[in-house]
Amino acid sequence: CVRVCPYGGVEVIEKIAHFTDFCNLCGACVAACTFDAIIVEAKPLEEVDLSQWSGVWVIAEHSDGHLRPGTIELLGEGRRLADALQTKLESVILGDKVAGLAQEILTYGADNVFLVENPILKHYRTGPYADVLVGLLNQHKPEIVLLSATSQGRDLAPRVAARIRSGLTADCTGLEVGSSDLLAGGAGTDSQLAGLSEQQVGRLLVQTRPAFGGNLMATILCPAARPQMASVRPGVMKKAQKTEPSGTITPVAVNLDERTVAAKILEVIRQEEDSGVSLQDAQVIVTGGRGLGKPENFKLIRELAEVLGGAIGASRATVDAGWIPAYHQVGQTGKTVQPKLYIACGVSGAVQHLAGMQASEVIIAINKDPNAPIFDIATYGVVGDLFEILPALTEKLREQRTS
């Protein structure tokens, strides 16, 4: 066991194996031990009374006095799940002077909004946001909690899930409930599922997310702990439609002390958007790939985006090469976008790029290689040299705009 441990986690002292602080429970020693003397056991979770948890919650995000688009998408998805489970859709908004936004959340169909206002919550900081949210979850016990997989959500969700001792599926692309087929399928052999009634299985959140670089879709359940927490990539779900508000706002008073918050915000520096249009809100996106050849040639992308009033996207190859900031990256490790029109120029169409843009309504691909995979998903394909096509297209559109 000493030899097989990659971490130096086992020491033999006087013929007895001792585990050091370097042991990370990987279990390599278990298989190697010819005496079956080593057992790694997960500490059992505390039994949770599932019946005490009900309701679907959406944790709202906002910036510059507006709800983030991902939150509006989660409200649409949350409504659908809440209706299927015949339960309430509730939302939580944290911030300073955000009562107007709480009101707006009601217009997207929430039955109730917990409104937590405090100057300390003005800008997102992990500590106070997690403290407030954990308190609310313990008090109100929602069955499902949805967050956006934005920088904020990706920071907050795991912190909260760990504190509340529940699971989290990050970066989901699909959510369902009411799937009692799970017992009939292979999942029925899972001992945790087998212990649930048919009704409890029907209330499980079936969370789907890409795994192994997008080559596999994983289905993930959280059968034994509550709440069932998922973060969802913005741009994947359909936005909620506005309706006549009928829900309530529940103000929540919190006692926070700035002196106990470790992180201080000294300055907020806004990311300048080249074209003035935010990538995730854009109706039109013009994306440049490695086919541009060098960073200066992003000028062609910028000009076309400008004439169309669109935003600038980029493949990871161009971001990694330092041609354009990471903010513009579209794809599995970048942003997920869903514009009306996506123009991919000199982008090959790797599966990781497609993961972030294939839900676009109309896709135009410009590539000199007729076999480039981007053409498999393009609505219109232009086989040719982008250095000829882009200036001509921009010029023609400019003429049309001015005539």
Residue 196, CA distances (Å) to 37, 160, 168, 218, 222 in order: 33, 25, 20, 21, 12
> Is 385 near ligand FAD (CB under 6 A)?
yes
Which one of 55, 69, 234, 356 is in contact with ligand FAD (CB under 6 A)?
Answer: 356
Phi/psi of residue 59, nearest 5 degrees:
-90, 115
In this structure, the number of other CB atoms found within 10 A of the CB of residue 269 comes to 5
> Is 235 near ligand FAD (CB under 6 A)?
no
| Alpha helices, DSSP H, located in 113-190 | 126-140, 151-163, 181-184
Q: Which of these ranges, 31-39, 50-58, 173-181, 348-356, lies near ligand FAD under the rule CB under 6 A? A: 348-356
Which one of 69, 142, 223, 346 is in contact with ligand FAD (CB under 6 A)?
Answer: 346
| Alpha helices, DSSP H, located in 225-328 | 298-308, 316-320
Residue 346 region by backbone torsions, left for phi larger than 0, else alpha for psi between -120 and 50, else beta? left
> Is 347 near ligand FAD (CB under 6 A)?
yes
> Is 369 near ligand FAD (CB under 6 A)?
yes
CB of 386 to ligand FAD, least distance (A): 4
Q: Which of these ranges, 25-33, 136-144, 237-245, 352-360, lies near ligand FAD under the rule CB under 6 A? A: 352-360
What is d(CA 152, CA 122) in angstroms, rounded to the nearest whole number?
Answer: 14
Pattern 276-295, binding to ligand FAD, x per CB under 6 A? -------------xxx----
Comparing CA positions, the residue from 270, 272, 274 lying closest to residue 295 is 274
Q: 228 or 332, CB closer to ligand FAD?
A: 332
Residue 198, classed as helix, strand or coil, is helix
Q: 69 or 334, CB closer to ligand FAD?
A: 334
Amino acid letter at 168?
L
Which one of 54, 91, 348, 394 is in contact with ligand FAD (CB under 6 A)?
Answer: 348
Residue 141, CA distances (Å) to 178, 252, 348, 381 in order: 20, 15, 47, 51
- For residue 209, list its beta bridge partners: 218
Amino acid letter at 54?
S
> Is 329 near ligand FAD (CB under 6 A)?
yes
> Is 360 near ligand FAD (CB under 6 A)?
no
Which one of 113, 161, 365, 372 is in contact with ligand FAD (CB under 6 A)?
Answer: 372
Comparing CA positions, the residue from 60, 211, 317, 350 lying closest to residue 328 is 317
Which one of 8, 178, 185, 213 is in contact with ligand FAD (CB under 6 A)?
Answer: 213
Q: Which of these ranges, 7-15, 64-72, 188-196, 340-348, lies near ligand FAD under the rule CB under 6 A? A: 340-348
> Is 358 near ligand FAD (CB under 6 A)?
no
> Is 83 near ligand FAD (CB under 6 A)?
no
Which one of 229, 230, 317, 337 is in contact with ligand FAD (CB under 6 A)?
Answer: 317
- Residue pair 165/46 in contact by the 8 Å Cβ criterion: yes
> Is 313 near ligand FAD (CB under 6 A)?
no
Quote the tokens at residue 187. 């999942």
In the complex, which residues of this chain contact ligand FAD (CB under 6 A)?
213, 289-291, 315-318, 329-334, 346-348, 350, 352-353, 356, 366-369, 372, 385-387
